[in-house]
Amino acid sequence: MASSVHYFAYGSNLYRARLQQRVPSATVISQGQLLGYRLRFNKIGLDGSGKGNIEATGCSEDSVWGAIFQLDPTELPALDRAESLGVGYARHPLKVVTPQGNITAFTYIALLKDNALSPFHWYKAYVVVGAMNQGLPTAYIHGLRAVLSVPDPDAQRCRQNTLRSDIAQLHQALMLNDSHPTSIND
């Protein structure tokens, strides 16, 4: 078995503490850009909200930014469970462009989608704060912040998922919330 594997995070797993709760060995090795893809929040979450998903567009101008993490392969089953492998997402290897050159990394792509969904505020905050912490491009973060999000009707789940250690960043992440969905590639 390989001594480590590379994982491309583009959604809530950009927030390192969240990913490390699932996979303690997760170590960031680089920022990365996936060309010819677009980030959507159309994966049907178990809670009924929109979760992060990437879709191939065939257009070289479209791209998804994220972070490449190095993981211990013995921890993959825990990440697969957290991502509902086979039910919510499928695992795919992709070529990711990094400052060090192209790296092949796996990521998760949604199996069931609904373009009418929006992420909950707390989920969007994980993505935005994670992108900020990873140092992703400002214009990309601005696009993430502009994505329509909605309140979670389950107050307990909302409290459990609120970023307590990043309150200032959480507030900043939610300050922009357009009244209409916006693509981060527009």
Q: Which domains does the chain have, with CATH numbers?
A: 5-175 (3.10.490.10)
d(CA 153, CA 81): 24
The radius of gyration computed from the CA coordinates of the chain, to the nearest angstrom, equals 15
Nearest alpha-carbon partner for 108 in 88, 87, 90, 126: 90
pTM value is 0.88
For the chain, how are helix, strand and coil distributed in percent, rounded to 5? 30, 35, 35
pLDDT tens digits along 101-126: 999 999 999 999 999 999 999 999 99
What Å distances lie between residue 134 and 13, 30, 112, CA to CA? 11, 9, 28
pLDDT given at position 69: 98
Question: Using CA atoms, how far apart are residues 144 and 81, in angstroms rounded to an integer?
Answer: 26
pLDDT tens digits along 4-26: 999 999 999 999 999 999 999 99
Alpha helices (H) in the chain, listed in sequence order:
16-22, 76-82, 121-133, 138-145, 155-161, 167-175
